[in-house]
Chain A
Amino acid sequence: EDKVVQSPLSLVVHEGDTVTLNCSYEVTNFRSLLWYKQEKKAPTFLFMLTSSGIEKKSGRLSSILDKKELSSILNITATQTGDSAIYLCVVPSSNTGKLIFGQGTTLQVKP
């Protein structure tokens, strides 16, 4: 059965800290992995990763995929209170196209 697992489930840090969120997957015919940020409402797209070893970067956020280890990490440097959210790792099932979600990592950044 296809599965996406995130760790940690919850994280509390102070502003300025760097965090690393982990995602591992077991998905048949893997094609891509996506990271989303969910605050109060809809998940908003962060990154889509398809190739191993190529880092994607957007401001203080970056992510990389390791197809050999079936995993991905999302890094956030110099965290701010506005980074507080649930971060979702998602892998589309190539058979159905439906999204397989990890449990999410709840990040709380304290001032």
Chain B
Amino acid sequence: DSGVTQTPKHLITATGQRVTLRCSPRSGDLSVYWYQQSLDQGLQFLIQYYNGEERAKGNILERFSAQQFPDLHSELNLSSLELGDSALYFCASSVTGDGYTFGSGTRLTVV
């Protein structure tokens, strides 16, 4: 157990639907990062939050949004889902900005 908890582990949903992925960072870590890993691509950075505020944005679609709550957990919302959104979504947390701990990921399948 890395200390970073992601739920759910697997998610199957239909096109057009909306889902919420949740990440609880390791205790004491203020930064949360979201990554998308598709079959034919490496890990693509989506967005970073630090202590509740958005810090950096990567290749995140407008249909996707995220937030970090006062208790530091984060949620990634994916809406109007398309088949191409099927991927592994990872959350990572860090405190120093150098060491990163990954959660076990949420596998999203859009059918």
Query: Do A and B interact?
Result: yes
Q: What is the interface of chain B mostly: helix, strand, loop, or mixed?
A: strand
CB of B102 within 8 A of CB of A103, answer no
Contact residue range for chain B?
20 to 34
List of B residues within 8 angstroms of A100 by Cβ: 45
List of A residues within 8 angstroms of B50 by Cβ: 97
Chain A nearest CB from B102 CB (Å) reads: 4
CB of A32 within 8 A of CB of B98, answer yes
Q: In residues 4-44 of chain A, which contact B (Cβ within 8 Å)?
A: 31-32, 34, 36, 41-44
Contact residue range for chain A?
20 to 34
CB of B56 within 8 A of CB of A96, answer yes
Interface string of A26-67 (1 = CB under 8 A from B): 000001101010000111110010100000000000000000
Once A98-B58, A99-B33 are accepted as A-B contacts, the answer to whether A42 and B105 lie under 8 Å apart by CB is yes
CB of A98 within 8 A of CB of B101, answer no
Please report the C-alpha to C-alpha distance between residue A94 and residue B38 in the assembled complex, in whole angstroms: 26
A interface with B by C-beta (< 8 Å)? 31-32, 34, 36, 41-45, 48, 50, 88, 90, 92, 96-104
